[in-house]
Amino acid sequence: MRISWKSGNTIVADTNSGKIIFDPKKDNLSPDDQKDSNTVLTFSSESLYESTKGKIIKESKNIFGPGEYEFGKIGLKSLAHGNPETKDESTINNIIIAECENLSICHLGNLSLMLSTSLIAQNISGVDILLIPLNTSSLNMDEITSLIRSIDPRVVIPMNYKFSEQTSPEQKLFSSELGVEVEESITRASLTKSNLNSSDGLKVIYLKPGV
């Protein structure tokens, strides 16, 4: 699985069975991104889908609501998280868990509320790869890193933060809170079950945006 970061919360996972684009936006999605005949676009909210659908080609598959889906050898689960009692769609965030190539990857979307212990235990705990936004409106760095420890992934890939070619204070703080060294940012991460199994402890991968 080859993972790259476009911008914001938009992450691309290229697999041998197709391409998954998490939270694409109208300003970073093109027909070239959807050349793979098995391209799946996932959206953390229906409003994001509505604002992006003009850039989606008809062959692409779209997920913007809760449920379980399967496209070829790619399995996906979308979990609605938030406060449905408000009847306000903007308070709902779809969390996506995808499985392919014997790897599980979780995109936490537009995270604004802490996840419940039961939701983590039943659906997310122990995923291989966690995609988590650092620039959230409601969670501070302590809460973000506490959430990561609760989920206990093998790899964490931060997204939605101000990137700099030089190591940023945000990267330093995030890595320090997790007790890991800041590694040089890379354009693309190539991950397999075997190379995850051969690594010890939590690994944080910083990606360069714009790919």
Identify the CATH number of the domain in which residue 75 sits. Answer: 3.60.15.10
Q: What gap in Å lies between CA 21 and CA 206, rounded to an integer? A: 18
Handedness of CA 164, 147, 96, 66 (dihedral sign): negative
Structural domain span for residue 168: 2-204
The model's pTM is 0.94
Please say if the pLDDT value at position 85 is more than 60. no
- Is there a domain that residue 108 lies in? yes
- Is there a domain that residue 47 lies in? yes
Assign 89 a pLDDT band (cuts: 50, 70, 90): low
126-142 confidence digits (pLDDT tens): 999 999 999 876 789 99
- Is there a domain that residue 209 lies in? no
pLDDT (average), residues 86-110 = 86
Dmax over Cα atoms in the chain, in whole Å? 46
The total number of structural domains in the chain stands at 1
- Is there a domain that residue 211 lies in? no
- Is there a domain that residue 192 lies in? yes
CA angle 93, 98, 103 (to 5 degrees): 140
Residues 6 and 26: beta-carbon distance below 8 Å: no
- Is there a domain that residue 210 lies in? no
Q: What gap in Å lies between CA 209 and CA 8, rounded to an integer? A: 8
